[in-house]
Amino acid sequence: MLIEWVNRNDGLYIVADQSAVPVQRRYFATALGTRFTGFEETEYSDWHALFRRLDREVARIDWKGQLIIDEFLYLTLAEPEILAVMQNWIVLRFDISLIPNRT
């Protein structure tokens, strides 16, 4: 049902698994390649590199779809730093603060 919703709403569905971190990045890049031509042709040395490329691709085609990561817990168990990488990407990409203004 989630995949159907993503397909109807210009989204992108990625499922994580319990693979090693480099394999996870390869699967992630392959899934992103279904939306962004050639994305899977690059070997990403870390999550920062992958998300920098994703940011450029999103801006290039002005993509407004949703990115759904199923089984995200597997990514965080394999490499906890992905939480900080994604938080940084969200804050910079969408120009938002995740800390409420307390004025």
Q: How far apart are CA 49 and CA 77, in angstroms?
A: 20
**Lowest mean pLDDT across 9-18, 50-59, 85-94:** 85-94
What residue spans define the domains of the chain?
2-94
User: Phi first, then psi: what are they for 45, rounded to 5°?
Assistant: -75, -25
* pTM, 2 dp: 0.83
Mean pLDDT of the chain: 89
**pLDDT score at 88:** 86
pLDDT in tens, 3-27: 888 888 889 999 999 999 999 999 9
